[in-house]
Amino acid sequence: MTAGTPTGPLGGHLDDDDYPAYTMGRAAAMLGTTQGFLRAIGDARLITPLRSEGGHRRYSRYQLRIAARARELVDQGTPIESACRIVILEDQLEEAQRLNAEYRNAAGSANPPAAT
């Protein structure tokens, strides 16, 4: 066994934000919400949990962060469908801003200012 070989039951997935490590019950407990809320945001297609071999829903840390944001909006009185749409749009805006910054950085490094 080498130092770089992942071991243990998660096989090195402890740092993977997209690894579906949490059961529905655990996810609901972590968020302080109900399993029904997780089902509802899944039905609204905000998140799509992976399924275990037995068909049980499994959630990643990334999905839990999205669910937590939706819960904040619902707790403020936003209908669940609207909250899901807001979170989707916020996520799309964040991604667009990240890409824009990357393009600006690439364009800036391709055309360095002339030395005087």
- pLDDT, tens only, 65-103: 999 999 999 999 999 999 999 999 999 999 999 999 999
**Across residues 4-19, what is the average pLDDT?**
64
The confidence score (pLDDT) of residue 5 equals 46
Closest CA to 31 of 76, 69, 56, 68: 68
d(CA 44, CA 41): 5
d(CA 91, CA 68): 13
Q: What is the DSSP letter of 111?
A: S
**Across residues 3-7, what is the average pLDDT?**
48
The confidence score (pLDDT) of residue 32 equals 95
